[in-house]
Amino acid sequence: MNNKDLHLREMRETAGKTIEDVADSLGVSKATVSNWEREPKSMSIDKLNAYVNACGYQLQDAITFKSRVMNQWDIPVNGELSVLRSGLIADVQGLAAKQPNFIKQAVLVNKNAYDMISGEFKTRLVFTRKPRVAIIGQSDVGKSTLINDMLGSNVMPARWTPTTTLVVRIVHSEEKPAWLKGNTIVVKTSVAEALPETYQLRDEKYFNSHVEAEGDQSLLTSWAIRESVQDEAEFVTAKIHIDPAQDKDSRYTMYTYQDAPILKSIEVWDTPGFAADGEAELGQAEDAQALYAQSNADVVVFMSIANGFMHDTDLSLLRPIVTRMDSTMDYKDGLPAWHNLFVVASQAQSVKPADQLPVILNNGAVRFANTIKDRWMDRNGQYTLPELRSRFFTFSIDDTSLSSKFIEALKQTIVIAQKQTLSKERDGVIKSFYFARENIIKKFADSYQQALGTRTIAEKKYQQALEDQPKAEAAIRKSMDKMRIDVDFHSRNSKREYN
């Protein structure tokens, strides 16, 4: 291994750690860590291993990190949509900051207006959110490898399987809560709750009540079950944070915030492998989380290893996914049938000779078509086998030529999806938002100010009454004194007249 080719600083920053974090963990000075990052060739294998462990990685990750650091996927950001989304987030946060005043004032009309506008904005936030791309498939098909290639860095640790109740959502660091020091959190919700929306985690009250753990990249390992368990002790240590058998009433979602360019346009969801451990109970919990990801994703990337592509298990897993997918945008704005489905043959470089890959994809498409032909094929000349075949792709970390069609097709889908959000077809929804923002909010603010004005007038009258009270009391005393004098006078006169 040639240490000089390592990208230690980039690996540390991807892990969300500072030089001071690593120095404190290893018991060395910050200058020492800085020197290692500038001159990794000066490090012994033991020091290098300690460094990468302090960053939450393993030694193999440091070796493979160099091959990906320059290979980042990039999808153009829709500027108008980005501005709209930022405005919505600012409005929601602004309203939330004023909520205590509304409750304090106990003005029912204002509170109802607050609830209505806050709900309107949150609905729009969900509507304008970044497309969610879920990476789905059986365990060990290369989901983490694909994600790391998309991000241009080893975000997802090698040789691990997500825990049975965990979906990992990878979002851009610009959406990280301001108070979060690290870059990774674990969110706990009850089974009765909806799983969190990304914007909710920027609400400090929600954050504090739902975040189970927070830290850096190392959480991705400590909240995971490793693929190759060395012994029972390692299994227990890796699994200690979550035990689905003991916590059936909760669901856990991991968020990690990264700077990859592609995350400015999408969220990437890494899902649990279906029934990865072969245990019925854990497999069911795992499948439930994968099902949630499928149902709430905007784009599904279904992975199957090229050698053994799309056979019985994969076919049975993919069929329900397709039946639940949103097809309303198919054939619109240049999008094809099944526009949000990508069936990917991973590790494509392992197929020899390479000209067998088209045959493998064709056969896989035919087998899958046979499982859905009763409901989803050949509908009025649409959803044909050739169209389905066009949604089948290859991917390889070692040969980029085998990935280019998949990457370009995914980019095109996301770019068009962003435009559709602001398209004329949905223009009425956006207009209603702008109307709400420009009119209802103004009326709400005016109503609130009027209530404050009314209260201010009442307070002034009350204060004036307090100031006038001594004068009023003096006048009353004077009046009563006069009354007593008058009573005494009349009493004396009455006695004289009687006598």
Coil vs helix vs strand at 271: coil
Amino acid 424: pLDDT = 46
Residue from 346, 341, 344, 345 nearest 299 by CA = 341
Residue predicted with more confidence, 147 or 440: 147
Residue from 115, 128, 127 nearest 440 by CA = 115
Amino acid 299: pLDDT = 94
Residue predicted with more confidence, 88 or 414: 414
pLDDT band, very low/low/confident/very high, at 495 (cuts 50, 70, 90) = low
Amino acid 228: pLDDT = 40
Residue for token pair 């009119």: 439
Q: Backbone phi, then psi, for 184, in 5-degree steps? A: -140, 140
Amino acid 440: pLDDT = 54
The number of beta carbons lying within 10 Å of the beta carbon of residue 47 is: 16
Highest mean pLDDT: which of 15-19, 22-26, 155-159?
22-26
Amino acid 72: pLDDT = 64
The predicted-structure confidence for 322-343, as pLDDT tens digits, reads as follows 888 888 888 888 889 999 999 9
Rounded average pLDDT over 239-243: 47
pLDDT at residue 121 is higher than 80: no
Give the whole-number percent of the chain exceeding pLDDT 70. 70
Amino acid 245: pLDDT = 45
Q: What average pLDDT is seen over the chain?
A: 77
pLDDT at residue 51 is higher than 80: yes
First CA to last CA distance, the chain: 133
pLDDT band, very low/low/confident/very high, at 344 (cuts 50, 70, 90) = very high
pLDDT band, very low/low/confident/very high, at 345 (cuts 50, 70, 90) = very high
The predicted-structure confidence for 289-317, as pLDDT tens digits, reads as follows 667 777 788 999 999 999 999 999 999 98
CA-to-CA distance for 303 and 318, rounded, in angstroms? 10
Amino acid 103: pLDDT = 47
Buried b (16+ CB within 10 A) or exposed e, 209-240: ebbbbbbbbbbbbebbbbeeeeeeeeeeebbe
Are 99 and 205 a contacting pair, CB within 8 Å? no
Buried b (16+ CB within 10 A) or exposed e, 7-22: bbebbbbbbbbebebb
Amino acid 348: pLDDT = 93
CA-to-CA distance for 253 and 289, rounded, in angstroms? 9
Amino acid 433: pLDDT = 55
Are 417 and 131 a contacting pair, CB within 8 Å? yes
Q: Classify residue 415 by burial, with Cβ atoms within 10 Å: 0-12, 13-18, 19+.
A: middle
Amino acid 304: pLDDT = 95
pTM of the predicted structure, to 2 decimals: 0.71
Highest mean pLDDT: which of 109-118, 156-165, 355-364, 474-483?
355-364
The predicted-structure confidence for 32-50, as pLDDT tens digits, reads as follows 988 888 888 888 888 988 9
> Cα 264 to the chain's mean position, in Å?
12
Rounded average pLDDT over 214-219: 83
Amino acid 445: pLDDT = 57
pLDDT band, very low/low/confident/very high, at 99 (cuts 50, 70, 90) = low
Cis omega (within 30 of 0) on the bond before 353?
A: yes
Highest mean pLDDT: which of 29-43, 71-85, 413-427?
29-43
Where do the H-state alpha helices sit in 175-272? 204-210, 219-222, 232-239
Rounded average pLDDT over 92-117: 60
